[in-house]
């Protein structure tokens, strides 16, 4: 286990709070995190930490290289923070509110950036005793999706054997660590359904093929996927969120359009759910005479926390004096899961106690545990480098 670093936490807290306030005041949307990236780069460079060359336009990957380490024993682990903000007008009332109208760090990614910068500093200071290298992933575009895929495509994580990440949790007490094995964030699939019929006069439905009736039947029938075709012990959501058809009261339109999403804990269940929806589309297509096209696009797989690494990370947290609790699974998505498809990893929750949920305009993270969060991330990486934990 790592030695407790609390003696350095006081100074670090003041420094990290300053960073946090800057990031909170200067949020940037997915794929536009230019100033955020610049600021991260400046801080890392001033610490003497190497930035890896990649073709990322925003976001970056840095590395703390272990000294005094024989190449044969070397293991590389990664820590990841997401860096983008949301198109939300801040209403938190904090003195350090966003200075960009209509844009806010409403998902706490400013906290993630800051904690990872703090971890970088701690790890860099301890590079003489590290059991291997630590890669620091400042990932763009988690909210818009695709950011994790971009990072993976750079190849910068090809030699990484374990990856760890953290998300703030407003529902948890300040400084409490939420951690559970398996799936904690859902697989997300985007659905687009086009229903092509035949338009005409509302008074002559027999001469038309009505896509609105087919759309209504489809939405109703899809409700049976979860209620009748899914094991009640499984967690599955099918939601339709956007429907469009027609323009006026006396004309049957030629087509209808529906959008929605499938959320499942466990990636395999997403495929089964989409297959069932496809059957329903086919069946209603035949019954109604409409041509129904279902387009499904996987946005992110389900997170999949490695049980052995979870135990190890929880032990690290407890050794540092953190209280741990089970992570209550959510049907929200998180593209940390993209890394976990290739690299064993753990995604934990860090309590920041806010009465307002993530993405809410009044969300405000508690900041008193920033240095502790940094200390935890650093210790998780440090312990992971020393561990020989195998997949169980
Ligand atoms: Ni988030």
Tens-place pLDDT, residues 227-281: 999 999 999 999 999 999 999 999 999 999 999 999 999 888 999 999 999 999 9
* Ligand 1 centroid to residue 138 C-alpha, Å: 13
* Ligand 1 centroid to residue 108 C-alpha, Å: 6
Give the residue among 99, 82, 81 at the shortest CA–CA distance from 90: 99
* Ligand 1 centroid to residue 296 C-alpha, Å: 23
* Ligand 1 centroid to residue 112 C-alpha, Å: 9
pTM: 0.90
Q: Is residue 29 predicted with pLDDT exceeding 90?
A: yes
* Ligand 1 centroid to residue 143 C-alpha, Å: 7
* Ligand 1 centroid to residue 91 C-alpha, Å: 18
Phi, psi of 106, deg, nearest 5: -90, 0
Residue whose tokens read 């200067």:
26
Average pLDDT over residues 49-59: 97
Q: Is residue 390 predicted with pLDDT exceeding 80?
A: no
Q: What is the pLDDT of residue 70?
A: 66
* Ligand 1 centroid to residue 146 C-alpha, Å: 14
* Under 8 Å between Cβ of 354 and 177: no
Q: What is the pLDDT of residue 1?
A: 42
* DSSP output for 296-340: EEEEE----B-HHHHHHHHHHHHHTT--EEPPPPBSS--THHHHH
- For residue range 131-145, list pLDDT tens digits in order: 999 999 999 999 998
Phi-psi region of 15 (alpha: psi -120 to 50; beta: other; left: phi over 0): alpha
Average pLDDT over residues 175-198: 97
* Under 8 Å between Cβ of 308 and 300: no
Give the residue among 308, 316, 357, 388 at the shortest CA–CA distance from 119: 316
Average pLDDT over residues 333-349: 97
* Ligand 1 centroid to residue 202 C-alpha, Å: 47
Q: What is the pLDDT of residue 267?
A: 81
Q: What is the pLDDT of residue 294?
A: 98
Percentages helix, strand, coil for the chain, rounded to the nearest 5? 35, 25, 40
* Ligand 1 centroid to residue 83 C-alpha, Å: 9
Q: Hey, is 15 helix, strand or coil?
A: helix
* Ligand 1 centroid to residue 71 C-alpha, Å: 36
Q: Is residue 343 predicted with pLDDT exceeding 50?
A: yes
* Ligand 1 centroid to residue 148 C-alpha, Å: 13
**Percent over 70 (pLDDT), the chain:** 95
* Ligand 1 centroid to residue 69 C-alpha, Å: 35
């Amino acid at each position: 286990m790592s030695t407790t670093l609390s003696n350095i936490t006081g100074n670090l807290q003041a420094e990290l709070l300053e960073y946090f306030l800057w990031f909170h005041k200067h949020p940037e949307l997915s794929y536009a995190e230019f100033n955020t990236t610049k600021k991260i780069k400046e801080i890392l460079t001033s610490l003497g930490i190497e930035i890896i060359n990649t073709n990322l336009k925003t976001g970056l990957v840095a590395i703390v290289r272990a000294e005094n380490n024989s190449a044969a024993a070397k293991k590389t682990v990664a820590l990841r923070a997401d860096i983008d903000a949301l198109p939300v007008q801040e209403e938190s009332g904090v003195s350090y509110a966003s200075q960009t109208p209509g844009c806010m760090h409403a998902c706490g990614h400013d906290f993630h950036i800051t904690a990872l910068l703090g971890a970088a500093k701690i790890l860099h200071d301890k590079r003489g005793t590290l059991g291997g290298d630590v890669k620091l992933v400042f990932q763009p575009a988690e909210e818009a999706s695709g950011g994790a895929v971009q990072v993976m495509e750079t190849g910068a994580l090809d030699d990484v054997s374990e990856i760890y990440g953290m998300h703030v949790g407003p529902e948890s007490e300040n400084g409490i660590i939420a951690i559970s094995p398996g799936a904690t964030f859902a697989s997300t699939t985007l659905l687009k359904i086009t229903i092509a019929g035949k338009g005409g006069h509302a008074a002559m439905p027999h001469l038309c093929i009505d896509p609105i009736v087919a759309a209504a039947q489809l939405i109703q029938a899809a409700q049976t996927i979860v209620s009748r075709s899914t094991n009640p012990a499984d967690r599955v959501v099918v939601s339709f969120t956007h429907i469009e058809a027609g323009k006026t009261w006396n004309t049957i339109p030629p087509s209808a359009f529906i959008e929605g999403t499938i959320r499942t804990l466990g990636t395999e269940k997403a495929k089964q759910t989409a297959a069932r929806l496809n059957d329903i589309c086919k069946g209603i297509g035949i019954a109604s005479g409409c041509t129904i096209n279902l387009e499904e696009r996987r946005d992110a797989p389900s997170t999949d926390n490695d049980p052995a690494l979870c135990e190890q990370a929880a032990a690290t947290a407890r050794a540092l004096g953190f209280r741990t609790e089970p992570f209550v699974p959510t049907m929200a998505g998180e593209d940390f899961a993209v890394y976990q498809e290739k690299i064993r990893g753990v995604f934990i929750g860090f309590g920041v106690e806010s009465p307002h949920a993530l993405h809410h305009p009044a969300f405000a993270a508690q900041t008193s545990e920033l240095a502790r969060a940094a200390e935890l991330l650093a210790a998780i990486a440090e312990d992971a480098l020393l561990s020989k934990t195998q997949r169980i």
